[in-house]
Amino acid sequence: MKTTTLLATLVMMFLALAVGAVVEDKSASPGPSNTGSQAEATGGPDDFGYVFADNAEAPCAGTYSFVDISTSGSPAGLVGQDDSHAGPFPFGFSFSFYGTSYTDFYVGSNGVVHFVDVYLGLGNVCPLPATNGYGVQTYIAPYHDDLVVQANGEVYYQTFASCPVGAGGGQCTVVQFYNVRDYGGSDANMNFEVVLFANGTVILQYDQPVNGDPTQTNGASSTVGIQGTDTSPPVWALQYSCDSPSLSSGLAVVFAPPGAQTGGIPNECVVPVDLMSFTAE
């Protein structure tokens, strides 16, 4: 019986390699595999013109407004999933990202949103832009790592005709990763989201990015950022952090394309005082 099982495993690995698939090794110790890069409060522009700013300091202080859609959003069907993806799901509008318009998106259990029906695997790569072996080179990474959606968790999505996040209103889609954890992590219930606007603005928000393992917590073994292509030049990517514990509860990071920024600052950072729900110290 053991000989038969071993033979079947070897055959499956050979077939995977023959079609160019990535064979993932989950037996490796969890934790960062790249040189860490601490987050900066602002960044860009990249060669496309995207910039980012977070709410750790002005000018984006006050932009955090986490929208919990765990009771109102549509489930992606990733309950209890490890190393999986789901979709396509409709935006309900045309989402412009690095010059391409998308009407549908996919979500991956490993903390990513992307636009092709391909699994983006557990091996986060950085600094961005970076080539991965999975064939997904255009994506949004609020927390790309080897994650598990727990049995009491899910990935939810919901489109709003008038966005409850940011200053501009208009349509947006929220994708919430609810009750997820790092593979091998000692505890539970990370909660973060992506807010996508039709003009290409992306907001990443973190309600609970803490994991009990110090080698993984707060993004210590993850990639956070956006990428339009893995090739360079031109550089169509912006990295917020790379294998660095730079995430915290109450953090918002705004990525804005040309036309959605003023003086290099994302327009969504301009929030009326009465809408401010978080002020950084």
Which pLDDT score is estimated for 188?
Answer: 67
Q: What six digits make up the tokens of 100?
A: 């391409």
Which pLDDT score is estimated for 5?
Answer: 43
pLDDT digits (tens, 9 = 90+) for 92-130: 999 999 999 999 999 999 999 999 999 998 889 899 999
Q: Identify the top-confidence range among 7-21, 57-71, 235-249.
A: 235-249
Q: Are 182 and 220 in contact (CB under 8 A)?
A: no
Residue that has been written with the tokens 């919430």 in this structure:
176
Measured from the Cβ of residue 220, the count of other Cβ atoms closer than 10 Å reads 22
Q: Identify the top-confidence range among 185-189, 207-211, 238-242.
A: 238-242
Closest C-alpha among 179, 234, 232 to residue 208: 179
